[in-house]
């Protein structure tokens, strides 16, 4: 990459973005060049780019606030603690959670799911019970449950999907039985883009008093999420996919459930008192936050949430929907292209294969054009098996992408065909 000088305001905290497309200049990396071409970043489902305000917030933390939290009485420790806890409050509002204590900072979606599987799961799933997931889960919402089921002698059951990549809801209803101890489903599929009708699915599970965990990794960057309206029991997401730093994420859990759950990890901060005979655990949310957390990450996530709120997630969703429709319409016209994932409700993901050309070759040729897409199984190998492909090429959008970038992608796909077709 070559460095390009761009003007970025020192701080964008108070700037009210006028339009979504006017926000590109907030993202320094979007102005880089790759292989001599302007970068076209279409790998947002893997991770999103960061606005300057998030970068500035992390720098400012290390320059002016750096200290360990929840421990010191000194000035810096109190300042850092306040900033970190303020970020927790922002997450609470972002998810519309009823209580601050329901927001647990974790490393990311993966750790959030593992926490629930190891804590709630080990406590509540017994031999002969069932854990219900869906056919379109990311590996991080499969493997933790598999580990649990193997340990307990329980069975992992799978809600099937149709050829469009939509869950078969009649089958889901049949799979909800007295043996089902938890349902774990994705809100939006990272490999297909399908938006699942999770509100309806949660309601079905709740009628039978079965708790539901929702993997929101691909949902929170694209739509408003209200955990009270959804009535889910657990909701997890990663900061880095919603324009925040890596290495931090959130587990929302219903207070009543979290209170009854045993700790996931032991260590500092998660205790009230320790003797060699007995440890008294801390209150929520700290009971689940052993050790020094990712302080700068949590504060950076708070800045990312402020940023997204200024843009308005409803407007973001509408804009991205338009972009996806535009891209889909153009891509289906390319001879030999098959789109994987054609659900009626989709968000920001366009997975495809080109007849006779390996997806990795598609990715490599597009990279030479400065276009970053993802190729591979997207940590969803069962999805690839379901559609009979080893891998797909995946373009995934954020609100800072443009129709011109979609045009460049389509031209790139034609070029791939010209070279390899
Ligand atoms: N679930 C989904 C749907 C995802 O897209 C991802 C990231 N690709 C994850 C879970 C895992 O997220 P992380 O690696 O940030 O823990």
Tens of pLDDT, residues 192-246: 999 999 999 999 999 999 999 999 999 999 999 999 999 999 999 999 999 999 9
Neighbours of 402 (CB within 10 A): 15
Q: Once rounded to an integer, what is the mean pLDDT over residues 84-102? A: 98
With vertex at residue 240, the alpha carbon angle to CA 352 and CA 42, rounded to the nearest 5 degrees, is 30
- For β-strands 130-134 and 180-186, DSSP reports them as parallel
Of the listed 23, 149, 157, 379, which one is catalytic? 379
Region of 332 on the Ramachandran plot (φ > 0 left; ψ -120 to 50 alpha; else beta) = alpha
**Cα 165 to ligand 1 centre (Å):** 18
pLDDT at 372 over 70: yes
Please state the atom number of ligand 1 nearest to the C-alpha of residue 137.
3
186 Cβ inside 6 Å of ligand 1: yes
Condensed to tens digits (0 to 9), the pLDDT of residues 124-178 reads: 999 999 999 999 999 999 999 999 999 999 999 999 999 999 999 999 999 999 9
Q: How far is it, in rounded angstroms, from Cα 132 to Cα 3? A: 49
| Structure-model confidence comparison of residues 9 and 125, the more confident one | 125
Based on the residue annotation, tell me whether 157 is a catalytic residue of this protein.
no
pLDDT at 27 over 80: yes
Mutate to test the pocket of ligand 1, among 195, 248, 379 (most ligand atoms within 8 A of CB): 379
What local confidence, expressed as pLDDT, does residue 15 receive?
55
pLDDT at 16 over 80: no
Structure tokens at 184: 């774990």
Question: What value does the mean pLDDT of the chain take?
Answer: 95
By C-alpha distance, which of 293, 185, 289, 287 is closest to 245?
293
Q: How far is it, in rounded angstroms, from Cα 219 to Cα 193? A: 10
**Cα 217 to ligand 1 centre (Å):** 5
Contacts of 230 (CB under 8 A, 6+ apart): 198, 199, 202, 214
The answer to which of 4-18, 80-94, 249-263, 340-354 has the lowest mean pLDDT is: 4-18
Question: Are 62 and 47 spatial neighbours (Cβ–Cβ below 8 Å)?
Answer: no
294 Cβ inside 6 Å of ligand 1: no
Nearest CA to ligand 1 atom 8: 46
**DSSP 8-state symbol, 287:** G
Please state the atom number of ligand 1 nearest to the C-alpha of residue 140.
10
Mutate to test the pocket of ligand 1, among 44, 46, 107, 218 (most ligand atoms within 8 A of CB): 218
Q: Once rounded to an integer, what is the mean pLDDT over residues 367-387? A: 97
Please state the atom number of ligand 1 nearest to the C-alpha of residue 108.
16
DSSP string, 324-357: HHHHHHHHTTSTTEEEE---SSB-SEEEEEETTB
Q: Once rounded to an integer, what is the mean pLDDT over residues 390-416? A: 97
CA distances from 403 to 230, 307, 357 (A): 33, 23, 25
pLDDT at 326 over 90: yes
**Cα 186 to ligand 1 centre (Å):** 10
Indicate the pLDDT class of residue 22, thresholds 50, 70 and 90.
confident
238 Cβ inside 6 Å of ligand 1: yes
What local confidence, expressed as pLDDT, does residue 20 receive?
78
What local confidence, expressed as pLDDT, does residue 314 receive?
94
By C-alpha distance, which of 357, 354, 363, 371 is closest to 406?
371
Condensed to tens digits (0 to 9), the pLDDT of residues 301-318 reads: 999 999 999 999 999 999
């Amino acid at each position: 990459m070559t460095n390009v000088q761009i003007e970025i305001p020192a701080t964008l905290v108070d700037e009210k973005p006028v339009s979504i497309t006017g926000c590109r200049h907030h993202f320094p990396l979007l102005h880089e060049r790759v292989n001599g071409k302007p970068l076209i970043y279409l790998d947002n489902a893997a991770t999103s780019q960061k606005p300057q305000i998030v970068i500035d917030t992390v720098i400012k933390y290390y320059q002016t606030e750096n200290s360990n939290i929840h421990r010191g009485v000194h000035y810096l420790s109190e300042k850092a603690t306040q900033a970190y806890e303020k970020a927790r409050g922002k997450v609470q509002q972002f998810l519309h959670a009823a209580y601050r204590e329901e927001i647990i900072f974790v490393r990311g979606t993966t750790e959030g799911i593992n926490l629930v599987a190891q804590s709630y799961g080990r406590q509540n799933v017994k031999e002969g019970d069932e854990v219900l997931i869906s056919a379109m889960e990311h590996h991080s919402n499969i493997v933790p449950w598999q580990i649990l089921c193997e340990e307990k002698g329980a069975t992992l059951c799978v809600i099937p999907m149709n050829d469009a990549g939509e869950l078969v809801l009649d089958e889901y209803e049949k799979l909800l039985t007295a043996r089902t101890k938890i349902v774990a489903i994705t809100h939006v599929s990272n490999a297909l883009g399908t938006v699942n009708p999770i509100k309806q699915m949660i309601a079905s599970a709740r009628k039978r008093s079965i708790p539901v965990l929702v993997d929101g990794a691909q949902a929170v960057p694209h739509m408003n999420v209200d955990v009270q309206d959804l009535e889910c029991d657990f909701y997890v997401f990663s900061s880095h996919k919603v324009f925040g730093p890596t290495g931090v994420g959130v587990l929302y859990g219903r207070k009543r459930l979290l209170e009854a759950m045993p700790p996931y990890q032991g260590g500092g901060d998660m205790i009230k008192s320790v003797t060699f005979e007995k440890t008294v655990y801390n209150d929520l949310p700290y009971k689940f936050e052993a050790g020094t957390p990712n302080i700068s990450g949590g504060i950076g996530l708070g800045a990312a949430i402020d940023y997204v709120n200024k843009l308005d997630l409803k407007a973001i969703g509408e804009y991205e929907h338009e972009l996806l429709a535009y891209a889909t319409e153009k891509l289906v016209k390319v001879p030999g292209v098959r789109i994987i994932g054609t659900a009626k409700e989709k968000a920001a993901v366009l997975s495809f294969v080109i007849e006779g050309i390996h997806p990795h070759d598609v990715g490599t040729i597009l990279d030479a054009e400065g276009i970053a897409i993802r190729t591979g199984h997207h940590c969803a190998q069962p999805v690839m098996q379901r559609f009979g492909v080893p891998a797909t090429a995946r373009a995934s959008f954020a609100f800072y992408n443009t129709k011109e970038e979609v045009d460049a992608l389509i031209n790139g796909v034609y070029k791939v065909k010209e070279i390899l077709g």
